[in-house]
Structure 1
Amino acid sequence: MIESGLASLCLVSQLADCATYKKTVFEKRDGYSFLLPGEPIIYKSQDNCRSYTPLIIGGAPADPKEFPHAARLGHRSETDNNNINWFCGGTLISDRLILTAAHCLFTNNGEVNVVRLGELDFDSESDNADPEDFNVTASREHPDYSHKLLYNDIAIVELNRSVHFDTYKHPACMPFDDGESHSTFIAIGWGQIKLVGKSSNKLLKVKLHNFGQKCAETTEITSELPTGYNASTQLCIGSSGHKDTCNGDSGGPVLSYHKDYPCMYHVMGVTSAGISCDTPDVPSLYTRVYHYLKWIKQEMSNTRKKYANVKLF
């Protein structure tokens, strides 16, 4: 009963956060009056949301402002003219926090010290985007994550300043369920289009399917996965065709559409590991975000307290 009560409180908190983000970004409050002395002003809210059609046939470039929570993580080198090496993805989940994969914090590319938000095409300056770089003040992997293992592959990256929410940049919502009832998801990222090749300059989107328990059959026992697929903490997602995530997409989200707020998304999973890219009927492993809600909400609460005197919106 206590766990059920905590789950209900958590759901109420998630609903409130999501509603706040929606109002902050899409609702405009205007005042009207009859222009006569002493007449009261009547305030009305106008919803400026223009939802995107929830249908993705195959991998395709994302539309402008379609995924305003998309983040790209990288390392800025102070010894190489501040050149940035981008190597992972992430999801904006509050005004200062990015959700990503824990293994992104333990690569040979250097520490994650820069995050870009509001980007669409890295090679274009006329793509209706509003790119902005943020420095990183702290990174925290889940306390149960052990480097080189792919279990509990989830982490939080803290930005050095607050993100101003608008149609180009605002958070994704936390999941309301574990994802098992979802037949499809949307994966996004700037990763490689094929196993051997360069990362994409454009933010790409692809529709993937829930493979349920199939990963228990397709996931081999390895040093990174010594007990195989963990159905409690991982999602099994893939495609029967040539659609997939790939290298460079790590840490990015798999999403579902918010049924009540058309312009909002739930982050259901974090891209973690795959056997190979673009292999039909061989699903990949994604960290199941719902399993880690208690930890995520605690991180969000701690950050709000830390910056209690800073205006969030």
Structure 2
Amino acid sequence: DCVYENDLKDCSDDMIDLVPQAVIPHPEYDSESSNQQHDIALIRIEQTPPFTDFLRSICLPEQNFESSATPGKKLSVSGWGRTDIFKDNLGPDVLSPIKLKLSLPYVEREKCSKTFRPWSFALGPGQMCAGGERAKDTCAGDSGSPLMSYDMKRAIWYITGIVSL
């Protein structure tokens, strides 16, 4: 796994195989329902992996993010989703061979709801929006990736949300 930034390539250590101890789906998840608002699970692993420059823990937010967020606050997302660049060269079902990252602005709930109203899409409880900039978005295959915010005062990353397409 490599990250490309400012024309520099920085690659992580080799893959680490971890044994899952338990898979804990959200208690309200229903695989038969068209409503996939709770399509998330936790995976408990047997041992703590060694932390590196590419593998770290992330903090849970101390409070409801939306109550303290200002519109436009920059959030980060990363993932291996399908992009046109790789689709054209490797085929339509190929995920990105490199992890890509993107900065997206937080979008307040009211503005997001208004944007999606023509498609009869409504935000559910616990859902939020980020994005809205032309040609900047998460990709198919990025579902489950973290939506993160950075607290500059504390130098801490927080998980703000989870990508769901």
**2:23 pairs with 1:139:** yes
Contact 1:190 1:204 in 2 (8 A): yes
1:16 — aligned with what?
Answer: none
Contact 1:152 1:233 in 2 (8 A): no
1:204 — aligned with what?
Answer: 100
Whole-angstrom CA distance in 2 between matches of 1:62 and 1:239: 23
Q: 2:40 aligns with which of 142, 148, 154?
A: 154
Shift of 1:272: 0.8
Q: Which amino acid aligns with 1:129?
A: D
SS at match of 1:185: strand
C-alpha distance 261-131 of structure 1, shift in aligned 2 (>3 A) = farther
SS at match of 2:17: strand
Contact 2:12 2:53 in 1 (8 A): no
**2:62 pairs with 1:170:** no
> What TM-score do you get using the length of structure 2 for normalisation?
0.74
Matches within 5 A, 1:50-199: 61-62=3-4, 127-147=11-31, 148=33, 149-180=35-66, 181-182=69-70, 183-194=73-84, 197=92, 198-199=94-95
Contact 2:112 2:129 in 1 (8 A): yes
**2:150 pairs with 1:257:** yes
Whole-angstrom CA distance in 1 between matches of 2:77 and 2:161: 9
SS at match of 1:210: strand
2:164 — aligned with what?
Answer: 272
**2:123 pairs with 1:229:** yes
Q: Which amino acid aligns with 2:17?
A: D
Shift of 1:199: 1.1
Once structures 1 and 2 are overlaid, which stretch shifts more, 235-244 or 174-183? 174-183
> What TM-score do you get using the length of structure 1 for normalisation?
0.42
Structure 1, gaps ≥5 residues long:
1-60, 64-120, 274-313
SS at match of 1:272: coil
Shift of 1:128: 4.2
SS at match of 2:128: strand
Whole-angstrom CA distance in 1 between matches of 2:153 and 2:143: 29
Percent of residue pairs bearing the same amino acid type: 26
**2:110 pairs with 1:216:** no
Matches within 5 A, 1:9-48: none
Count of residues paired in the alignment: 145
